[in-house]
Structure 1
Amino acid sequence: MKSSKTGSGLTDPTRRTLLKSAGMLVGASALASTIPARASDMSSESTPKSGRGAATATPPIHKPMVGFMLAHEQFPVPELVQLGVAAEQAGFDLLATSDHLQPWQANEGHSGQAWVTMSAIGERTRRVWIGPTVTCPTFRYNPAVVAEAFSSLSLLYPGRIFLGVGSGEALNEQAAIGSWPKWPERSARLVEATEIIRKLWTGDQVAHDGKYYNVNAKLYDPPTTPIPLLMAANVGPKAMYRSGQFGDGLITDPESWKKLQAEFEKGAKDAGKDPKQMPVLVELFVVVGDENDAKTSAELWRFLPNAFKSYFNIRDPQAIQNRATADLPLQKVYEKWPISKDPDVHVKALIEQFNSGATIVNVHSGQADQKQVIEFYGKHVLPRVHQQLNEA
């Protein structure tokens, strides 16, 4: 498979052995033996190690969890922080944040800095996992800076930070630095950047002279707990194979996971990893309401069906919005979303994703009233999902 050669030699056996022996392929299973499964397992006597936001107890990231999406495209940072706190209180296990310079569509209206949001949420929460879906560590962010930032976040909130990485979109990368090469280079850069990040996280001096990056530095404050590094893949088999090969886990959508699961598993196995021990996060769009509510949400997320088919190559959010309006009827956008005020519909949708092999279902609602969605899930959906998962 051509994708196995992506990254200019990074897939050869010697390099893979180096990565594994240095402890840079951080297995999510390493967390399982020391961290209880859910908030209900937390001791009432637990206290933070430092600061209000330090960890008391957190779930292992490869165990089944329900996450909540904090969309920087649609809401300002102060509101996202409040929503993150509310989501933890409602019983969500994980908070994912989008990481953009610009929104996908101009009518979404916002695009705050994700790492700032994560830090503020970490200080105000106690147990949820927090991470981006996803950060692009190759153009507007240098991989060394990404390594430093997430190391610092992990020191603030040990055992609660994950890093999701991807190859980027023109609306962020080209808009920021004016460069937007073809996919083979973007994918190779992602693989090389991931290698640099993992090397720096060891705390050793790193002298990396690669095809795309030259780094000669060390992190003087490296992580003291493992940071799972999940790699995004949508639509294409090469990207899915790459994520299995080079990631600690996967970030994707339900349709891509359904169609390309075998590619991810093959990539993991070819790299000497057990895909059953790797977290798989799927982002599930939902609507707590009726079809009119779905239409309103879909207006803001109209690009989704073509996001990673063509729109990721467009720099201007207004141009993406115009194209999506012309190309996609609203019903096409929401036709596979669970849409209902009946908890059974939502419980069934989440359980179906877990039954497909996903370990994290990240709930994303495009509705304006996010607190209503959080409260609905907290009262009527999450308890039943957790019960079914415990009984399985």
Structure 2
Amino acid sequence: MAIGYTLMTEQAGPAELVRHAGLAERAGFDFEVLSDHYFPWLDEQGHAPNAWSVLGAVTQVTDRVELMTYVTCPIMRYHPVVVAQQAATVGLLSGGRFTLGVGAGENLNEHVVGRGWPGADRRHEMLGEAVEIISRLFDGGYVTYSGRHFLVDSAKLWDLPESRVPIAGAVSGPQSVDTLAPWCSAMIAVEPDAELVSLWDKANSGSSPKIGQVPVCYDPDRGAAVRRAHEQFRWFGGGWKVNAELPGPPAFAAATRFVTEDDVAAAIPCGPDVDRIVAATEPFWAAGFTHLALVQIGGEHQDEFLDLAQRRLLPALREAAG
């Protein structure tokens, strides 16, 4: 089982993220994922640097860890031909360590280009076309495409890595599995849903990676950890069907104004207890996930978390996951 570290662009600036990436590799994490946002979820998080610029720098301070966007939305803010070029370039810079994670996105980040926010069915149609375009560009040669949502006129990637960049698709149900499984070699999901894993395996050969994510808030003082998790991560409990629709940090603040510290502490392991963190990961292993990325809440609290990971947490997680 592979244990990953999340470079969360919503809670740290670009230089800090690059430094954390190097520390996480030295701490012993197997892979690192990077969020691709234009806004933080809440004002309190306070950051949103460009993910692709950060990734380029991260490739130069790491040597071993696999890298991934978690996730990029290639349907509005980026045209899919641009995403394909960015992914191929990071694949080259990383020496073949990069996976392009894609999903249908959130209004939070995509509304900035002024095209409105499509309904879920249309977003999945757009994502299907986008991933097909990206995949065809990864094949090499010129691509011309005329779809319902995208046009491509004689595009070609002139710099492709020797090994094709894998694509991982973020799924939440049968519709997204049907859309992404033909083009993607890995599954991304945030819920430890064994039925979703089964659907994916039936559609995608049964042996592809399944990648999840778990937030934690380590701090020697549990009370401080609970307060920080509530301040910066109370948006997490809304679920993705809600989170995809809200337009900006003020909307998330309003939607979560009745979420209490106790609510957050019940959902996210907070404090110094390694066993609680391990327990929060177990449903993913039980559901059939092969990869799990941890999110340490609080951009200024990464060093102490990475120290804990190296000394105690990673050995405990690997023992529990078998």
**TM-score, with length taken from structure 1:** 0.76
CA shift at 1:237, angstroms? 4.1
Give distance in 1, aligned partners of 2:248 and 2:278.
37
- Please say if residues 243 and 264 of structure 1, whose CA atoms lie closer than 8 Å, have aligned partners that are also in contact: no
Give distance in 1, aligned partners of 2:248 and 2:262.
24
- Please say if residues 131 and 163 of structure 1, whose CA atoms lie closer than 8 Å, have aligned partners that are also in contact: yes
Give distance in 2, aligned partners of 1:345 and 1:73.
25
- Please say if residues 35 and 70 of structure 2, whose CA atoms lie closer than 8 Å, have aligned partners that are also in contact: yes
Matched, 1:224 2:162: yes
Corresponding residue SS for 1:137: coil
Partner of 1:359: 290
Q: Please list the CA deviations of residues 103-136 of structure 1 after superposition, one character each: whole Å capped at 9, or x if unmatched.
A: 1112211100001111111101110111111000
CA 1:241 to 1:264, structure 2 compared with 1: closer, same or farther past 3 Å?
farther
Partner of 2:198: 262
Given residue 195 of structure 1, which amino acid in structure 2 is its aligned partner? E
Give distance in 2, aligned partners of 1:339 and 1:314.
26
Given residue 105 of structure 2, which amino acid in structure 1 is its aligned partner? G
Give distance in 1, aligned partners of 2:249 and 2:113.
13
- Please say if residues 101 and 176 of structure 1, whose CA atoms lie closer than 8 Å, have aligned partners that are also in contact: no
Corresponding residue SS for 1:99: coil
Count residues with an aligned counterpart: 318
Give distance in 1, aligned partners of 2:320 and 2:243.
38
CA 1:331 to 1:238, structure 2 compared with 1: closer, same or farther past 3 Å?
farther
- Please say if residues 36 and 71 of structure 2, whose CA atoms lie closer than 8 Å, have aligned partners that are also in contact: yes
- Please say if residues 295 and 331 of structure 1, whose CA atoms lie closer than 8 Å, have aligned partners that are also in contact: no
- Please say if residues 241 and 263 of structure 1, whose CA atoms lie closer than 8 Å, have aligned partners that are also in contact: no
Give distance in 2, aligned partners of 1:343 and 1:134.
27
Give distance in 1, aligned partners of 2:128 and 2:223.
41
Query: Residue 216 of structure 2 is aligned with which of 268, 272, 286?
Result: 286
Matched, 1:142 2:79: yes
Q: Please list the CA deviations of residues 143-179 of structure 1 after superposition, one character each: whole Å capped at 9, or x if unmatched.
A: 0010011101111112210111011111111123332
* Identity value in percent: 30
- Please say if residues 98 and 134 of structure 1, whose CA atoms lie closer than 8 Å, have aligned partners that are also in contact: yes
Give distance in 1, aligned partners of 2:151 and 2:108.
26
Given residue 79 of structure 1, which amino acid in structure 2 is its aligned partner? E
Partner of 1:213: 150
Matched, 1:378 2:314: no
**TM-score, with length taken from structure 2:** 0.92
- Please say if residues 202 and 222 of structure 1, whose CA atoms lie closer than 8 Å, have aligned partners that are also in contact: no
Q: Please list the CA deviations of residues 350-369 of structure 1 after superposition, one character each: whole Å capped at 9, or x if unmatched.
A: 35422321111100121341
Matched, 1:92 2:24: no
Give distance in 2, aligned partners of 1:232 and 1:241.
12
CA 1:309 to 1:329, structure 2 compared with 1: closer, same or farther past 3 Å?
farther
Give distance in 2, aligned partners of 1:385 and 1:262.
24
CA shift at 1:331, angstroms? 2.7
- Please say if residues 9 and 37 of structure 2, whose CA atoms lie closer than 8 Å, have aligned partners that are also in contact: yes
Partner of 2:243: 311
Q: How does 1:242-257 map to 2 (within 5 A)?
A: 242-255=179-192, 257=193
Give distance in 1, aligned partners of 2:308 and 2:89.
34
CA 1:348 to 1:313, structure 2 compared with 1: closer, same or farther past 3 Å?
closer
Q: How does 1:38-117 map to 2 (within 5 A)?
A: 64-117=1-54
Partner of 1:189: 126
Partner of 1:154: 91
- Please say if residues 303 and 320 of structure 1, whose CA atoms lie closer than 8 Å, have aligned partners that are also in contact: yes
- Please say if residues 72 and 103 of structure 2, whose CA atoms lie closer than 8 Å, have aligned partners that are also in contact: yes
Give distance in 2, aligned partners of 1:202 and 1:334.
47
Corresponding residue SS for 2:277: helix
Corresponding residue SS for 1:138: coil
Given residue 229 of structure 2, which amino acid in structure 1 is its aligned partner? S
Query: Which stretch shows the higher mean deviation, 240-249 or 111-120?
Result: 240-249
CA 1:214 to 1:241, structure 2 compared with 1: closer, same or farther past 3 Å?
closer
